[in-house]
Amino acid sequence: MKFDQLISSIENIQKELLKRTAVQVNTNLSIRNWLFGLYIVEFEQNGEDRANYGERLFEELSSRLKNSIVKGASATNLKLCRQFYNAYPQMGKIADQLLHDGNIAIPKPIRQSLTDELKNGVTQRETNSLAGEFLLKCLSFTHFAELARIDNPLKRAFYEIEAIKGKWSVRQLKRQIETLLFERTGLSTEKVQPRK
């Protein structure tokens, strides 16, 4: 091995391991936010003192977490965490795996009756979405925050696939959603309103 090859090898190792580290950090932050959403939904549905907070829940929660070790817990971000949890139920398996060895209790999500789930499209939503592991490797939480705002599971899956294929930044994803790419490709069953 020549000296230049040694330098090149060390630089390549550095680049590869930094890339892997970034993916792992992104995965853990996304799962953390999904778990925040899970706990918020649990509290909203079963919390003994939830009536004490009502509409002020996110502001109170954000205020109390502000001086703790939790970073990024603004009321807006906490709402996004709840939205992320609701839109991506498949992340639960990953959260279970990551925290299996830890001593963190993960509440099991509250399920509706099967009839209600079928009526609300939960089963369809789960089958239309990509595997959580794959999504976490390719997308950041900021991507998920944009995607979770899309109610239509088919439309969300379309943007997931396109964002991954095109390696879109969050800005590019947002622009494609705003310019109605899904509707313009003819995949939508909804009529596009002509621009005025």
Residue 189 within any structural domain of the chain: no
Residue 180 falls inside a structural domain: yes
168: pLDDT strictly greater than 70: yes
Residue 104 parent element (H or E): none
Rounded Cα–Cα distance for residues 91 and 93 (Å): 5
Q: What is the number of domains present in the chain?
A: 1
Q: Residue 193: inside a domain, yes or no?
A: no
The per-residue pLDDT for range 120-131, each reduced to its tens digit, is: 544 444 444 568
**Is residue 61, in this structure, part of any structural domain at all?**
yes
Encoded tokens for 22? 């970034």
Q: Is residue 190 part of a domain?
A: no
Nearest to 104 by CA among 163, 58, 35: 35
List all residues 6 or more positions away from 113 whose beta carbon is below 8 Å from its beta carbon.
none
Whether residue 31 is contained in a domain is answered as: yes
> How many Cα atoms are found within 13 Å in the side-chain-facing hemisphere of 132?
21
The region of weakest confidence among 109-113, 159-163, 173-177 is 109-113
pLDDT of the residue at 131: 84
Tokens 């609701």 locate to 86
Mean pLDDT of the chain: 83
Handedness of CA 25, 27, 30, 35 (dihedral sign): negative
Does some domain include residue 46?
A: yes
Q: What percent of the chain has pLDDT over 90?
A: 58
Tokens found for residue 117: 């789930």
| Interval 61-90: pLDDT, tens | 999 998 888 888 999 999 999 999 999 999
Q: What letter does residue 180 receive in the DSSP assignment?
A: T
Q: pLDDT tens digits, residue range 25-58?
A: 999 999 999 999 999 999 998 877 777 777 789 9
Mean pLDDT computed over 91-109? 71
Q: What pLDDT does residue 46 have?
A: 85
Indicate the pLDDT class of residue 106, thresholds 50, 70 and 90.
low
Q: How many CB atoms lie within 10 A of CB 106?
A: 16
Quick one: what percent of the chain has pLDDT higher than 70?
79
For 69, the domain range is 3-184
- 3-state helix vs strand vs coil in the chain, percent to 5: 70, 0, 30
Task: Compute CA 27 distance to the chain's CA centroid, rounded to the nearest angstrom.
Answer: 10
Closest CA to 81 of 41, 50, 116: 41
Nearest-angstrom CA–CA distance, 162 and 167: 8
